Copies of this chain bind each other. A is one copy, B any other.
C-alpha cells in the first residue's frame, strides 16, 4: 500500500502517541513529518476522563501541537450523543473532572440528584471516592440509562497495565442489574463518524493508526477505513499476525509512517 489517496489520518493516543505521561519514542518526530506532509489529522481516543483542552495541553507539553477540533475523545462524542439523541434529558456523571469539563463545554444538562438522572455517564475515574460510586449506584438503581465512554478492562498506563472503566461499569451493573444502553467508544460508528466529520473526508481517503486490534483496527474494518497497527501499546506482532481481522499495515511504531510519507504519490 502507498499513501496514494490517503489525505486524512485518524490517530489513536494511548499506546500510539504516549504511554501514561510519557511520549512514545519517535511519536514527536512522526507527527512533525505528518504536519510537513500537509495531511489532515484527527486524534481519536477512547479516553473519556479527559477534556479536549486537557488532551491538547498534554500533547503540547510533549511537543505535539494540535488544534482543539483535531481532538475527538469519547467524552466529546458522549456529549454530542446526549445532545442529539436525548435532548433535554438530565445526566449524572461518574468519572474524572475531564468528563465534567467536556459536558459543561457542550452544555449537557446535569441532574442535581442521582435519583433524578435520565442518564448515567460512566468513564474512567482515577479520583473516584466511595461517595461517588454510591451516587452512581443510586442513579442506576433509580432507572437512569447507562451510557459508557468505553468498556475497556485495562489501559497501558504508568507502571504497566491499569484497571480501566470496565471495573466501575461491572460494579454498577452487578449491584443494580442495570444494563449498558450505549457504548460510545471505538470500534463504534459514533467514533468513526465523528472522526470522518472532523476530517471532512470519505473513509477510503483515510487511515486509522492505533495499537489495539479490537478498538482501532475493528473501527477501521467496520467503517471501511484502512488501518495501521502499531506495536507500541497493547498488541504484540504475534497477536497482530494471527488476528482474524488483520490490519493493512503493521508498524513497529508510528515513526514507520515516514516510509509511506517519503513515497511519491502516483
Q: Which residues of B contact A168 (CB under 8 A)?
A: 171
When all copies of this chain in the complex are counted, the total is 2
Specify which chain B residues have a CB less than 8 angstroms from the CB of A129 in the assembled complex.
Answer: 128-129
Return the chain B residue nearest A176 by Cβ: B153
Within 8 A of B (CB), among A102-157: 125-130, 133-134, 137-138, 141, 153-154
Bound CA span A160–B133, Å? 14
| A96 CB to nearest chain B CB (Å) | 9
Size range of the chain A interface in the assembly: 20 to 34
Main secondary structure of the interface of A (DSSP, over half): helix
Q: Known contacts being A129-B128, A130-B128, is A164 close to B175, with CB within 8 Å?
A: yes
Q: A249 in the interface, Cβ–Cβ < 8 Å?
A: no
From B127, B160, B161, B163, A171 is in contact (CB under 8 Å) with B163
Rounded to whole angstroms, the CA-CA distance of A137 and B171 in the bound complex is: 14
CB-CB < 8 A to A137: which residues of B? Answer: 162-163, 167
Given A163-B175, A167-B172, A169-B174, 19 new contacts (CB under 8 A): A127-B130, A128-B128, A128-B133, A133-B163, A134-B162, A134-B163, A137-B162, A137-B163, A138-B160, A141-B161, A163-B171, A164-B175, A166-B174, A166-B175, A167-B174, A168-B171, A170-B171, A170-B173, A171-B171
